[in-house]
Amino acid sequence: MGRHLAESDVLLAPPGPLDRWEAPRIRVSTDGWSREQKVGDVSLAPEAIWDLDLPADQSVTFEWSARPKSRASSPPRCDTCPKGEITGYRWALDIEDLTDETPRDDEDTDLAHWSTWSLDVISTTIGPFEVGDEHVLSVEARDSKGFLSLVTLRLHFVEEVNAELARR
């Protein structure tokens, strides 16, 4: 059940059982805080949204990366499944509709739309914001096998950051 390329005599074998594949796992970090998805996926379930307290009146820089996990490591191992590669990242701040593919009017100021997919954009600096402000940072990663993952951070800007609360 392979695919045949019209331009050649090459027969492409299927990549292996799809149920053994995983989406990339995204890691997001900022000064003194870092977290990685346990399983790469796209979810807006409450337990999938990370809450983070941050100091108000300061800019904050977030960095991200992802590990391709397109070949499952748990039994039964799929040694014939090619491992995926990360092909891009994008991010948005306070995006209303995650499925809205409207391009940004300006990459530097239109933060409520997805940024352009890129392997080079692996960080952003936002703020400063006032005490009591809340914002949502969304980061997506995709791999060469077409798998997509999403990390959603709910950012709470506070006067003083309690170290224990900041790591919820």
Stated pTM of the model:
0.80
Contact, 134 vs 126, CB < 8 A?
Answer: no
Identify the residue whose tokens are 């492409």: 12
pLDDT at 164: 52
pLDDT at 12: 43
pLDDT at 60: 96
Sorted by where each begins, the domain ranges of the chain are 12-166
Q: Which amino acid is at 48?
A: A
Q: Which amino acid is at 125?
A: T
| Domain 12-166, CATH homologous superfamily name and number | Immunoglobulins (2.60.40.10)
Residues of the chain with pLDDT under 50: 1-14, 70, 165, 167-168
Beta bridge pairs of residue 142: 88, 148
pLDDT at 91: 98
* Nearest in space to 126 (alpha carbons), one of 100, 98, 134, 26: 134
pLDDT at 163: 55
pLDDT at 33: 93
Contact, 16 vs 77, CB < 8 A?
Answer: no
